[in-house]
A and B are shown apart, each in its own frame.
Chain A
Amino acid sequence: MGILNVLSRNFWRRSRTRKPADRVPYPADFRGELAHRLDLCTACGTCSYVCSPTAITFVSEADGIVWRYDAGRCTFCGRCVEYCPTRALSFNPKAASPVARREQQLTNDLVPYQHCERCGAQLIPMPPETLVSLYHSPEGAAQAAEMHRLCDRCRSRLASERVKSGLKR
C-alpha cells in the first residue's frame, strides 16, 4: 500500500507549493523596471546609441531634450545602464506591473535646458553628483562647478583669461 503512505506523508507535511500571495523574492541583481533620474541625465545620447532594440530615443523640444523610452521594445539587456556616464539609468529590483494600454508603456522625460551664466546660451550642465564623483570630493566639485555652469565658448574664454592672468605675473 505504498500509495497510501505517500498520500499520508503529503497530507501531514506542509504543502510543497506556495500560495499566490507568498511570492518568491526577486534576486539581488534582477533587471526589473528601468528607472531614469532626471537630475543626473545630461541627454548625452549614449543610452540611445547603445540600445539594442532602439527602445530609447531623444527628441529635441524648444525648452529641453526629451528622453523617450518604450518599455514594450526594451529587452532589459542593461547596455544603457552599463554605459550611462552619469549613472542616471538603473534597474528597479522589481518588475514593472502589467499595463492595460500600449500608451502606458511609453515614457517621455524632459531634460530641461539651463542657461549659461555669462552669455545665456542653452546648455545642459554636468550634474553636481557626477562632479562629486569625478573630483572625488565635494570641495573639488564646488571649485569645478563654476566652470561647468558655463557654455563651452564661455568656458574656453574663462580658461584663456586665467592662462593670460597667470602668464602676466
Chain B
Amino acid sequence: MTDWWRPLLAFLIWPGLLGGALLGWFDLWLYRKLLARLQGRQGPPFYQPFFDFVKLLGKRTILPGGISPLIFYGLPLVALVSVVAALALLPVPGTPMQSFSGDLVLLLYLLEMPALVDIIAGFATRSIYGQVGSTREAILSIGYNLPFITALVAVALQQGSFSLERVAAGPLGPVQILAGLALLLAIPARLKTNPFSIANAESEIVAGTHIEYNARPLALFELTHSLEVVAMAGLFAVLWVGPVADTGLRLILYLLVSAGVVGLTCLVAAAMARLKVEHAFRFFWTWGALAAALALAAALIW
C-alpha cells in the first residue's frame, strides 16, 4: 500500500479534521457575525465558536435514562468520522488525497450520514421534541436531496466520470452554473438555516434532535455541524474554482467562494422566516425539481 499516508494526512490535517475545524469555526463566526450585523447587533468575537466548543467539552455528560450508552456516545462519533472523511475526499486545492473513480458516490453517502445520525439520535433519545425534530429532518431530507444529488450527478454526467477530480476540473459552463444554482437551493436546508431551519426550530421544539445531548457528545455534534458547513461550502466552491491552474490562486479563490456561500446563506437566513415542513417539501419538489431537471437537461445537451 504505497502512499498510505496520503489519506491519513487528508483525514487528519488538510482538508480533514484540523484544517476543517479551523475553517469551520471561521465560517461559523462569519455567519454569526454577519447575521448579527444584518439584525443591528454587534455579533460575537472571532474566537467565539472555538470557545463554545471548549466550553462544551469541559462539562459533565449526563446520560438520559433509558438510552443505550453505545448509541448515545457512538452516534456523534459516527457523524464526525463521516463528515471528516467526506471532507478528506473533497478535491480542495492542496489536498494530499488522490481522487479515485467513484469517490463522488462515496462523498454523497458520507455527506448523508450526519443527517441520518441526527434522525436516529432524535428518535433514540425518546424525547417527544427529539422525535418531532427527527420526523421533520427526515421529511426535509427527502426534499433537499433531490436538487442536491441531481446537481452533482448532472456535473458528473457532463464530465463522463464519477471521479471528483475530473468533476472539479471541468470548465465552467451552463451545466456548472445550473448545477450550482440547484446546490444553492439545497445548501440552506442541509445547514438547517432559515427558511429551512424546521428541524431545530428552537421556539417550537426546543432543540429538536439534539435535545437530550449535552457536554462532550454535543460538542462533537457541534463540531460535525461546523465541518458540514465547510463541506457544503467547499463542495460548491470546488465546482467553480476547479479549472484555475495555479494551486495558490485556486486555494485563495476556494476560501473566498466558501466565505461567499456562507455569506449568501446568512443573508437568506436573515431575510426569511422559517417554512413549515410541508411548504419546504413542496418547494423542493417544485422549484428544486425544476432546477434539477434543468441541470440534467443541460448535462445531456452539452
Contact = CB atoms under 8 A, between A and B. Distances in A.
Interface of A: 3-4, 7, 10-11, 13, 15-19
B38 interface: yes
Interface string B35-52: 011111111000000000
Contact of A16 (B40, B271, B272): B40
Nearest to B39: A10
A7 B267 contact: yes
B37 A15 contact: yes
**Main secondary structure on A side of the interface with B:** loop
B269 to A, nearest CB: 11
Given A3-B271, A4-B271, A10 B42 contact: no
Contacts of B38: 7, 10-11
Nearest to A15: B42
Nearest to A4: B271
A134 B39 CA distance: 60
Interface string B205-234: 000000000000000000000000000000
Interface of B: 36-43, 267, 270-272
B272 to A, nearest CB: 8
A15 B33 CA distance: 12
Contact of A18 (B37, B40, B42, B267): B42
Contacts of A19: 42
17 contacts: A3-B271, A4-B271, A7-B267, A7-B270, A7-B271, A10-B37, A10-B39, A10-B40, A11-B37, A13-B40, A15-B36, A15-B37, A15-B40, A15-B43, A17-B40, A17-B41, A18-B42
Given A10-B37, A10-B40, 20 more contacts: A3-B272, A4-B271, A7-B38, A7-B267, A7-B270, A7-B271, A10-B38, A10-B39, A11-B37, A11-B38, A15-B36, A15-B37, A15-B41, A15-B42, A15-B43, A16-B41, A17-B40, A17-B41, A18-B42, A19-B42
